[in-house]
Structure 1
Amino acid sequence: MNSVTRSDLTFRSGGDECAAWLYRPDTPTPVPGVVMAHGFTAVRDQRLDAYAQVFAEAGLAVLLFDYRHFGASAGEPRQLLSVKHQLQDWEAAIATLRAQPGVDPQRIALWGTSFGGAHVQAVAARDHGIAAVVAQIPFCWAEKPQQKVPLGKTLGLLFAALRDSLHGALGLPPHYIQAIGDPDDHAAMTSPGAAAGIASITPADSGWRNRVAARFVFQLATYKPGRQAGDIRCPIHYTIAEQDAFISPATIREAASLAADAEISSYPCGHFGVYVEPLFSAVARDETAFLLRHLTADAD
């Protein structure tokens, strides 16, 4: 186990500054690197620092960042989720880690969870210099939801998205909706136990805010990164939560079947169970083993 230092770092993406933590293992030789980011509206202090610490102790440099408009990163208006912008943030983060002294630019992996797991599939499908990918409980496409969404809620989300899109076109402040909640909440993403689940990964001083600009809704129907898995040339590890009420395990398995070199690890938990004990240590161990196998096997 390596000793690890963590430092603050910023990089530019689309004219704004993204905030990141850079984890460096104490080793004199160039090391592989992992770029990491969270999911839907989430920020780095929501248990991703725990994963980053494990990966760094295993000898990997880690760049863990917040997307523009979220957390400690810049970007106005706040809580604005743009798939296009977030993919640009990934590309800028990868370039930043590749340029770091002591990091081997040929051995860079991506690690994304939930909506971030969607992004790592899309990025790796077009950046064939990526050496390995971990897609943890990833959004792949929206056709097979885990739960039926009542018509009234669907219409309410569409109305909110239309209102927010109009605000954007007129230069007005966003129309926000609650991001995550239980089924009785008027939130974008709901499931039984979701409020307790998000609370379990969110420290008291977190930069996370439980709201999002409603216009994001229109992006979900057309964003299908799992369909791009066949274009991913590097090994990819899919982490599945079998009781996930947000993301259908069937869509993840279908995406994995399209990839040229995919493996799956499955755990008996809901969406938030992979972040905390009693399963966190097992998930982190399995993902670390995958990363080391593909990032260090050929290193001298």
Structure 2
Amino acid sequence: MTGRNGYDVTRHDITFDSDGDTCAAWLFLPDGVERPPVVILGHGLGATREMRLDAFAERFAQAGIAAIAFTYRHFGDSTGQPRQLLSIKRQLADWDAAIAHAKTRGDVDGSRIAVWGSSFGGGHAIIVASRHPELRAAVSQCPFTDGLASARALGPIGTMRLLPTVGADVWSAIRGREPRLLTLAGAPGEKALMTAPDALPGYQALVPEGTTFVNEVAARVAPTITWHRPGKAARKVKVPILFCVCDHDSVTPAEETLAYARSAPKGEIKSYDAGHFDIYLGEAFEEIVMDQTEFLTRHLGMSKD
């Protein structure tokens, strides 16, 4: 990969173990940089690394920062049964495993690690940063911070549509049967976890040609999402953390996110005149990735604070 006014980048296919399963990942290395710092990237609800994580990772590597973009267990080409199972506990364990893996690699500096999460992964990044004080920095992009706020965005009617499938899948889990699946992103009025007008086209725009994206998730996760509040961990994050908040976010409302972000002792906040899915592409992407690159280079020991 040719550098964009910076380093040329080489992408490597890698894997790492997570509780006996395998997480598939890409390692982006800036050519000619000996043991660079590294940022670990994880995506949002049901998404895989192919859905524009490579765009962010490549830009960070062009700035001299190695990047590991991984896919959670049960999704994409990572292992884990049953498929499409979204377990918050397991995904957080995948983050722990990714950090542990980065610390063992000889081609990056395991003492200079940052985490970067987007959407549901943005919430994970907050929790992970609160649990890993050895990290140098964290980036939380359009983060899921409050399940009740996101449920209000779905609306009571949309929530009611999910209940029969959720109940059936909880029963399937009890009986050890295959999951009953819910659509992740659907059109307004459809039965899906996200039905804002920009949700379905937003997800579709992130899927590169030739890549299969399974737009479904085990329905049993819905109640755990509703009561999940990763934003509460912000006040426990002792490392510098950058919150990138979209003013017109239809999935993770900005008001609640900003309230949590202000509680982080070393938090920085950047707001964008954009929707939840806008920041992965075009001018919005260029603006946000520039801010994130500046933040990461500042806190990963590449320039003076």
Instruction: Give the Cα separation in 2 of the matches to 1:120 and 1:193.
Output: 24
**What is the one-letter code of the residue matched to 1:89?**
D
Aligned 8 A contact 2:74 2:81 in 1: yes
The answer to whether structure 1 residue 182 and structure 2 residue 187 are counterparts is: yes
**What is the one-letter code of the residue matched to 1:173?**
E
Q: Which runs of 5+ in 2 are unaligned?
A: 1-5
Percent identity of equivalent pairs: 40
Aligned 8 A contact 1:79 1:211 in 2: yes
Q: 191, 200, 217: which one pairs with 1:212?
A: 217
> What residue is the counterpart of 1:294 in the other structure?
299
TM-score when scaled to structure 2? Answer: 0.94
**What is the one-letter code of the residue matched to 2:170?**
S
Q: 142, 147, 151: which one pairs with 2:156?
A: 151
Aligned residue for 2:233, secondary structure, equals helix
Note the aligned Cα RMSD (angstroms). 1.5
The 5 Å alignment of 1:159-174 reads: 159-174=164-179
> What residue is the counterpart of 1:15 in the other structure?
20
Q: 22, 29, 37: which one pairs with 1:24?
A: 29
> What residue is the counterpart of 2:104 in the other structure?
99
Instruction: Give the Cα separation in 2 of the matches to 1:297 and 1:43.
Output: 29
Aligned 8 A contact 1:131 1:235 in 2: yes
Q: 111, 126, 136: which one pairs with 2:116?
A: 111
**What is the one-letter code of the residue matched to 2:30?**
P
Aligned 8 A contact 1:147 1:246 in 2: no
> What residue is the counterpart of 2:3 in the other structure?
none
Q: Offset at 1:147?
A: 5.3
> What residue is the counterpart of 2:208 in the other structure?
203
Q: 113, 116, 134: which one pairs with 2:139?
A: 134
Aligned residue for 2:10, secondary structure, equals strand
Q: Cα–Cα, structure 1 residues 146 and 289, in superposed 2: closer, same or farther, change >3 Å?
A: farther
Instruction: Give the Cα separation in 1 of the matches to 2:149 and 2:220.
Output: 21
Q: Offset at 1:160?
A: 1.6
Aligned residues: 299
- CA deviation vs aligned residue, 1:47-93 (integer Å, no higher than 9, x gap): 11000000001001111100000011011111100000000000001
Q: Offset at 1:256?
A: 1.1
Q: Which runs of 5+ in 1 are unaligned?
A: none
- CA deviation vs aligned residue, 1:83-116 (integer Å, no higher than 9, x gap): 0000000000111112111322121000000000
Q: Cα–Cα, structure 1 residues 184 and 155, in superposed 2: closer, same or farther, change >3 Å?
A: closer
The answer to whether structure 1 residue 70 and structure 2 residue 91 are counterparts is: no
Q: Offset at 1:173?
A: 1.1
Instruction: Give the Cα separation in 1 of the matches to 2:40 and 2:190.
Output: 33
Q: Cα–Cα, structure 1 residues 171 and 199, in superposed 2: closer, same or farther, change >3 Å?
A: same
Aligned residue for 1:53, secondary structure, equals helix
Instruction: Give the Cα separation in 2 of the matches to 1:133 and 1:23.
Output: 18
Aligned residue for 1:104, secondary structure, equals coil
